Structure 1
Amino acid sequence: MSAEYWSGKLYRAEQVRRGEQQVAAQQQLDMYQLMERAGTAVFRVLEQEFSRQHHVLVCCGGGNNGGDGYVVARLAREAGYQVTLWQQGDAVTLKGDAAKARDAWLAAEGQILPPGQAIPASIEVVVDALLGTGLSGQVRAETQRLIVMINRIALPVIAVDIPSGLCADTGRPLGQAVKAQVTVTFIGSKQGLWTAQAANYVGRVQFAGLEVADAFEQIESPSAFVSQVSDIACCLPPRQRDAHKGDHGRILLAGGDHGMGGAIRMAAEAAARAGAGLTAVLTQPDNVLAIVAARPEIMARGWLDSERSVLALRLLWADVLVLGPGLGQSAWSRALYDVLAQTEKRHVVDADGLNLLAHSPDYKNNRIITPHPGEAATLLACSVTEVEADRFYAARTLQQKYGGVVVLKGAGTLVDDGTQCWVCAAGNPGMATGGMGDVLSGIIGALLGQGLSLAAAARCGVWIHSTAADRCAAEGERGMLASDLFPHIRQLVNPR
């Protein structure tokens, strides 16, 4: 996000369209003034990123997004850039403010050309003003061809408000979408820029309030929020100097069937590194020695189905339960799950705990569930494609069906408590490796043990986990291990 102040609030496209008209009416602004401000904001980014020696291609569509492009083209030409402008469709058919911007470009002696068969070799940067946030159906074939041409030549692209072809509400491409280096979004940041496949298209998102963002926020309530470091610091104040281990949570983690002891071990160490006072594990007896030898601070005990009293005692001892890392779906797994899942204590359900929950769905307000898209599809009895087509809808539907707080993992992880939704903008592809989800569930469990609410523990845990991974990625994304996050987790739960 750019240096211009941004509140972290997100909106649906219709909210921004409606709100900007109301603000313009309140402030007696001509909508063309907002178009000029939008074009100026994009031009400033062009100036910051590229010298006046660059040849710029501005691609304009038929709506107001295209009008913004005409303003960018005019300002760039006046500043000394070489500018080529392509109009997708007939420029004569432009209406309203877009037509006014077109006429100003022509008055500045600019030319309007139809898209060529190929982007000229002299072009060094592209301004994408083809399609705006009003797109709902699939991109038309002729525009898809131009988008493919832009993406194929791999030039740096500045997208006007949103990369053309990307759904502003869901973050999915509608047939084809432009891959931008920078996206300059106006007035209210669109929620679809922050999750799902949007990460492949938006590049660096910069916010331009156009001098009306404060007034807009008074009119429209956000549809979601991006988690910010300031939010995390508020949830993790310095500890009292006379604190003792009982003040910071007794965390019980259950899982680790045969061959999956590493999952419960990583979840437990993540809980300890995230500040849990005491950390205990119930697992297959074969796993105990390896866990204790690697991390003696973890109180690990083997459990067999015949030892139901052990479960009761451990649950009585615990403040928080984490159920699922490496749990499996064997008879041992089901027996452990059937007892522990009935707890009235606050708990986190992850991994195979979610698959077992899908077999016997229930609604509870004392838990956090942390599905990845595949597990979410199982919980909702739909396809992964349907989940990823609208992650905001999927997260809210999961919350309405299962209660509590939902963490829908993936690019732009969502946290939904049924009333509000938060998006995590941190994270990277290096996290696509075994054990990452186990580490996350351990972090969240530890934060619950330290007194955070379900929603705060979920959103802070997701941010800490993803930010730790970003710090690891300084050494490269490929080859990152889930256990590489541990030293960074400790740093992040001690905000300065």
Structure 2
Amino acid sequence: MNDAPAHPSPASPAPGERLFDTARMRELDATAMALPGMAPGELMDRAGAALLEHLQECWPGVSRVGVLCGPGNNGGDGFVLARRARAAGLEVVLHAGSSRAREESDGKRARRLWEESGGEIHPLETFDPATADVWVDALFGIGLQRPLTDVYGEVIERLNRADRAVLAADAPSGVDTDNGALRGQAARATRTLTFIGDKPGLHTGAAVDYAGTVRVATLDLPHSLAQSFAPAAWRIGPGHWRAGLPRRRPGAHKGDAGHVMIVGGAPGFAGAGRLAATAALRAGAGRVTLLTHPEHAAFVCNDRPEIMVRGVSEGPELLRWLERADAVAIGPGLDQGPWGRELWLAAADSGRPVVVDADALNLLAQTPRRSDDWVLTPHPGEAGRLLNLDAAAVEADRPGRLRELVVRFGGTVLLKGAGTLIADTDDGPYHCVTDGHPGMATPGCGDALTGVIAALRGQGLDARGAARIGAGWHVAAGRVAARRLGGTVGMLAGDLIAALPAAAGGDDGF
């Protein structure tokens, strides 16, 4: 094995933006309402004002605004918005259920002020989406604990069928803002304006199809307020990962950037290993060797001469090669037959930093083991096999399943999917990678991510840093590729790989 790569240590990357779960948001709300000079109901008034401002900014010239108000404080935000919109000369139609509050509350006060201003409340049962151009969903915000199957569910179903723009207040009704799962029916928003702090469940899982474009309204609260609370997660968005990229010194040579070995490519699956190897080169690896099945070793990379290729037949032979590796990636195109199984067991015992993907994860599920220094990169189906669950159970609580994987298998786990999640502990904040797009749901993009992470490990990053920075880089390259192509349809993994250098250089693809 080579000595540690001799490049300058990368700068400590920005951890990202704070994401707060329901429990932390309730603490934040309570702290904000207790600030000196904060009058009763003022926070709700600010939320309603922010909603109106955002609505008029996003839909300039709109004249008919509809508001759906629930029984709690989220409904109160809607009543404030409605009153302010009406005062601004907009036509407002508002639907709400009966108030459940027995004592005076901010939500009940907002409802009363709406009625006292001459506003009319229509029953939810008469809701007709055609009566407004933009609808504000203020039915239920964060912390919903039950499925929406009653009249609220019927209203949401009607709203989703209509071709109308929807602005969600704090969160789309029916979306679990802690984990991104849906509580029965969920409102499909065009945009979500979330208050005080961002929430992890708006950026992962099924919620990605319901939250639309998410923006945060701080409600003019001190920046230090949210910064004083530990987040449930960190959002890795544009630019949060770039400072952590390895930097080469002026006199560097290729040996300083690590030797990455990609293990995979059973007969019929040669392309997966080739894609991972190409991505490792584009991600800065000094040397890349593809250790693949002898059947196609002679020609699999004929058009990519920068990749060294060796045919490997058995585990002991693989171990001899891996002695020279700074990082290993195993799994792309590996298959689960005798050849793949023998190579997997050898790589797992090699003592090298390992990135585990694809069929290597399926083999790990069959013979579980732990390591503190590997990176596991399952998609929901592979995660389900590792946990003896189906993919739907994984998607129902992505953060929870992520932590279970860390507990069971150790190391750093990267759970792929809409809003990729990364963790190396079961009790601290995890990371959520946002801003991907559906064009990346194409064969080979996972292999490319494996190659990027392996390249970063080979250049000296630890498992968590390589996973976090690699995932952010991978998403940025996907955006650059889509822009170059003029859209997301028909994007290939090779397009993403070719965009890695531009993304590293500062292009975020927007």
Asked if Structure 1 and Structure 2 have the same fold, meaning a TM-score greater than 0.5 normalized by the shorter chain, the answer is yes
Q: Is the 8 A contact 1:344 1:366 kept in 2?
A: no
Write the deviation string for residues 354-376 of structure 1: whole angstroms up to 9, x where unpaired: 01111111111110000000000
State whether structure 2 residue 469 is matched by structure 1 residue 460. yes
- Confirm or deny: 8 A CA contact 2:66 2:131 kept in the other structure: no
Once residues 83 and 255 of structure 1 are traced to their aligned partners in structure 2, the CA distance between those partners, rounded to angstroms, is: 61
Match of 2:434 among 425, 436, 439: 425
- What one-letter code is carried by the residue in structure 2 that aligns with 1:490? P
Shift of 1:218: 4.5
d(CA) in 2 for partners of 1:287, 1:28:
73
Residue 292 (structure 1) shift? 2.9
C-alpha contact 1:236 1:494 (8 A) present in aligned 2: no
Partner in structure 1 of residue 28 of structure 2: 19
1:173 aligns with 2:152: no
2:320 maps to 1:296: no
Q: Aligned equivalents of 1:494 and 1:345: distance in 2?
A: 29
Q: 1:7 to 1:241 in 2, by over 3 A?
A: closer
Kindly report which structure 2 residues correspond to 1:252-263, keeping only aligned pairs within 5 A, or say none. 252-263=261-272
Aligned-residue CA RMSD (Å) = 1.8
Q: Provide the residue aligned with 2:384 in structure 1.
A: 377
1:387 is matched by which residue type in structure 2?
V
Q: What's the secondary structure of 2:461's corresponding residue?
A: coil
TM superposition score normalised by structure 2: 0.92
Change (3 A) 1:107 1:402: same
Aligned: 1:491 with 2:498: no
Paired position in structure 2 for 1:414: 421
Aligned 8 A contact 2:260 2:289 in 1: yes
1:204 equivalent in structure 2: 213
Aligned residue for 1:217, secondary structure, equals helix
SS of the residue corresponding to residue 239 of structure 2 reads: helix
Aligned equivalent of 2:403, options 389, 393, 396: 396
**Relative contact order (C-alpha < 8 Å, sep 6+): which is higher?**
2
Name the SS of the counterpart of 1:163 in structure 2.
Answer: coil
1:7 & 1:340 partners in 2: Cα distance? 33
Q: In the aligned structure 2, how far is the partner of 1:356 from the partner of 1:90?
A: 55
1:478 aligned residue: 489
For the residues of structure 2 that align with 1:340 and 1:142, how far apart are their CA atoms?
A: 56
Give the match's secondary structure for 1:102: helix
User: Quick one: distance in 2 between partners of 1:114 and 1:455?
Assistant: 52
Q: 2:134 touches 2:164 (CA, 8 Å); kept in 1?
A: yes
Q: Per-residue displacement from partner, 1:456-477 (whole Å, max 9, x unpaired)?
A: 1101111111222222223222
Letter in 2 for 1:147: I
User: What CA deviation, in whole Å up to 9, does each residue of 1:76-104 have, x standing for no partner?
Assistant: 11111100111123488684111111122
1:82 aligns with 2:91: yes
CA, structure 1 residues 495+451, in 2 after alignment: closer, same or farther (shift >3 Å)?
Answer: farther
The corresponding residue for 2:356 is 349
Distance 2:366 2:334 in 1: 15
Counterparts of 1:296-315 in structure 2, within 5 Å, are 296-305=305-314, 308=316, 310-315=317-322
Aligned in 2, Cα 1:118/1:298: closer, same or farther, shift over 3 Å? same
Matches of 1:288 and 1:206, distance apart in 2: 50
- 1:148 pairs with one of 136, 140, 157: 157
Which deviates further from its counterpart, 256-265 or 13-22? Answer: 13-22
Q: Deviations over 1:329-376 (max 9, x none)?
A: 111111111111112221100000001111111111110000000000
Asked if structure 2 preserves the Cα contact closer than 8 Å seen for 1:59 and 1:88, the reply is no
Q: CA deviation at 1:153?
A: 0.9
Give per-residue Cα distances to partners, 1:391-417, cap 9 Å, x unaligned: 001111101111110000000000111
Distance 1:311 1:237 in 2: 28
Please tell me whether residue 386 in structure 1 is matched to residue 393 in structure 2: yes
Report if aligned partners of 2:179, 2:201 keep a CA contact under 8 Å in 1.
Answer: yes
Residues 128 and 164 of structure 1 are in contact (CA less than 8 Å); yes or no, is this contact kept in structure 2?
A: yes
Q: Percent identity?
A: 40
The residue type paired with residue 439 of structure 2 is G
For residue 366 of structure 1, the aligned residue among 367, 370, 373 is: 373
Aligned partner letter, 1:365? D
- On the 8 A contact 1:66/1:98 being kept in 2, the answer is yes
Aligned length: 489
Cα offset, 1:290, TM superposition: 2.6
State the one-letter code of the partner of 1:480: M
AA of the residue aligned to 1:415? I
The Cα of 1:311 is off from its aligned counterpart by 2.1
Match of 1:3 in 2: none
> Which 5+ residue runs of structure 2 have no aligned equivalent?
1-14
State the distance in 1 between where 2:347 and 2:62 align.
Answer: 67
1:129 matched to 2:138? The reply is yes
Change (3 A) 1:53 1:220: closer
Structure 1 range deviating more: 415-424 or 55-64? 415-424
CA contact (8 A) 2:99 2:108 kept: no
Tell me how far 1:52 sits from its aligned partner: 4.8
Given the two structures, how large is their TM-score scaled by the length of structure 1? Answer: 0.95
Alignment partner of 2:193 out of 167, 184, 193: 184
- SS where residue 137 of structure 1 aligns? coil
Q: Quote the Cα distance in structure 1 between the aligned partners of 2:401 and 2:255.
A: 38
The amino acid that maps onto 1:25 is A
| Residue pair 1:20, 1:216 contacting (<8 A) in 2 also | no
Deviates more, 1:281-290 or 1:88-97: 88-97
Task: State whether residues 16 and 236 of structure 2, in contact with CA within 8 Å, keep that contact through their aligned partners in structure 1.
Answer: no
Taking structure 1 as reference, are residues 260 and 434 closer, same or farther at Cα in structure 2, changes over 3 Å only? same
Shift of 1:51: 3.4
